[in-house]
A = this chain, B = another copy of it.
Amino acid sequence: MTENYSISDLAKEFDVTTRTIRHYEDEGLLLPARKGQKRIYSKSDRTRLKLILRGRRLGLSLDEAGQIVNMYTPGSDNLDQLQALIDKIEEHRRKLYQQRKDIEMMLKDLSEVEKICLQAIDEKRGT
């Protein structure tokens, strides 16, 4: 087992270009193994990519997305750093709350607009 993926495997699965994936590597967000020249992506590489893309969908910069992903593998022994990490988590959490609020409001607004549209259509029909 231990599932491996080629670059185009992942590109297809997540609907991005290979260029994008290589770019993430250039920026230090991914570091796949090599078999000769070719990149071999492990299950955990795939997970990292998935998390990065999730961050991007939420409007994060690559840098921010990278920081979030790095949270997942603390690897830090230092108390201060762990505390700093927790602070960052809290900060990001607040952003997510705000975003969720934005989404709820926008959904509500969209329903309003839709209602108005449907009424307008109905009136047209009545003519």
| A residues with CB within 8 A of B | 51, 54-55, 57-59, 68, 71-72, 74, 79, 82-83, 85-86, 89, 92-93, 96, 98-100, 102-103, 105-107, 109-110, 113-114, 116-118, 120-121, 124
Flag if A113 contacts B74 (CB, 8 Å). yes
Number of copies: 2
Inter-chain contact B74/A106, CB cutoff 8 Å: no
A110, B93: Cβ atoms under 8 Å? yes
C-alpha gap A109/B73 in the complex (Å): 12
Checking B57, B99, B124 against A79 with a beta-carbon cut-off of 8 angstroms, the contacting residue is: B124
In angstroms, how far is the closest chain B Cβ from the Cβ of A28? 20
Known: A96-B103, A96-B107. 14 other contacts (CB 8 A): A57-B99, A71-B113, A74-B113, A74-B120, A82-B121, A86-B117, A89-B114, A89-B117, A92-B110, A93-B107, A96-B110, A99-B99, A99-B103, A100-B103
